[in-house]
Amino acid sequence: MLAIGGAIGVGLFLGSGYSIKVAGPAVILAYLFGALIAIVVSYCLVEMVIVHPVAGSFGVYAHTYLGSWAGFSVRATYGICQMIAIGAEVTAVGIYARYWLPHVPSVVWVAAASIALVAINTMQVGGFGEFEYWFALIKVIAIMAFIVIGVGLIVGFGRGPALGLSNFTAHGGFMPHGLRGVWLSLPLAATSYFGVEVIAVTAGEAKNPKESVPRAARAVVYRLILFYLLSICVMLAMTPWDRVGSNLLSSPFVSAFSSVGISHAATIMNLVVIAAALSSCNTDLYVTTRMLFSLAREEYLPRSIGILSRNGVPHRALGVSTGGMIAAILLAIYVPSNAFLMLYGTALAGMFFVWIIILVTHLRFRKTLTPELLAGLPMRVALFPYSTIFGIVGVLAIALSTFYVDGMRYCVPTFVPFLLAISIVYWWIRRSADVCIADQT
Q: 274 with 167: CB under 8 angstroms?
A: no
Write down the pTM of the prediction. 0.77
Q: What is the largest CA-CA distance in the chain?
A: 83
DSSP assignment of 16-74 equals HHHHHHHHGGGHHHHHHHHHHHHHHHHHHHHHHHHH---TTHHHHHHHHHT-HHHHHHH
Q: Count of CB atoms within 10 A of residue 404's CB?
A: 13
Domain boundaries, the chain: 2-440
Residues 6+ apart with CB under 8 A from 299: 429, 433
CA dist., res. 110 & res. 325, Å (int): 8
Query: How high is the mean pLDDT in each 10-residue block of the chain (441 residues)?
Result: 64 69 86 88 87 77 90 85 75 75 78 80 72 78 80 74 77 85 82 75 69 76 78 82 60 65 67 76 79 77 78 77 70 58 68 91 90 81 90 91 79 82 84 58 51
Q: Of 335, 227, 248, 273, which Cα lies nearest the Cα of 19?
A: 248
Protein fold of 2-440: Amino acid/polyamine transporter I (1.20.1740)
CA atoms within 13 A on the CB side of 212: 15
Contact indicator for 339, 91 with CB cutoff of 8 Å: yes
What integer pLDDT is reported at residue 387 of this predicted model? Answer: 93
Query: What is the pLDDT at residue 248?
Result: 47
Burial (Cβ within 10 Å: 0-12, 13-18, ≥19) of residue 240? middle
| 249 close to 95: Cβ distance less than 8 angstroms | yes
- What gap in Å lies between CA 223 and CA 282, rounded to an integer? 20
What confidence score (pLDDT) does residue 147 get? 82
**Which residue, among 260, 192, 276, has the nearest Cα to 19 in the 3D structure?**
192
pLDDT at 90: 77
- Rounded (5°) CA angle 327-195-80: 35
